[in-house]
A = this chain, B = another copy of it.
Amino acid sequence: MNFEISKEPIDTQSIIDKVIQREAGAITTFIGTVRELTAGKKTLYLIYEAYESMAVKKLEQIGREIEERWTGAKVAISHRVGKLEITDIAVVIAVSTPHRADSYEANRYAIERIKEIVPIWKKEHWEDGEEWIGNQLETVAYPTGKPEESDLDE
């Protein structure tokens, strides 16, 4: 189960453990955490929602894409759903490869792909309101034309 949607807090070490291999000299992890400030606005908490069965399939697809593109790569990804507080972990991506350059590149590829094709949505809650966030890659217009303050490089 290297690719999962988790309702419980993610234990980073357990994700790292999934990609350990004798052939690997490098493991990179990306840990996406809930940041307090986005474009100057103070987040209280977030809700993540997923189309869970499809999201798992899409994470698996990203894993296959990486293993095809970077020889010897091994990948594990867990994405949290539910209510997350500031500094809570939303996603952990672990990639092991024989050589370190590949490990950074493949990991970066994974997070960019997650933001393109994995059906997971985030609702930000501020003191003065809440909003579903979309379109982090600006590939399509957000249906309501909002949020103008969305952060493309979270």
Known: A107-B104, A154-B100. A31 touches B23 (CB 8 A): no
Chain B residue at minimum C-beta to C-beta distance from A30: B28
> Interface extent on A, as a size class?
35 or more
CB–CB B101/A104 < 8 A = no
Residue A34, interface by CB 8 Å: yes
Q: Is the CB of A153 within 8 A of B99?
A: yes
CB-based contact B25/A32 at 8 Å: yes
* Residue pair B29, A35 in contact (C-beta under 8 Å): no
How far is it, in angstroms, between the C-alpha of A154 and the C-alpha of B97 when the chains are bound?
10
Question: What are 14 residue pairs bridging A and B, where the CB atoms are less than 8 Å apart in the complex?
Answer: A13-B13, A22-B86, A22-B87, A25-B32, A25-B154, A26-B154, A27-B29, A28-B30, A29-B29, A29-B31, A99-B154, A100-B154, A104-B104, A104-B107
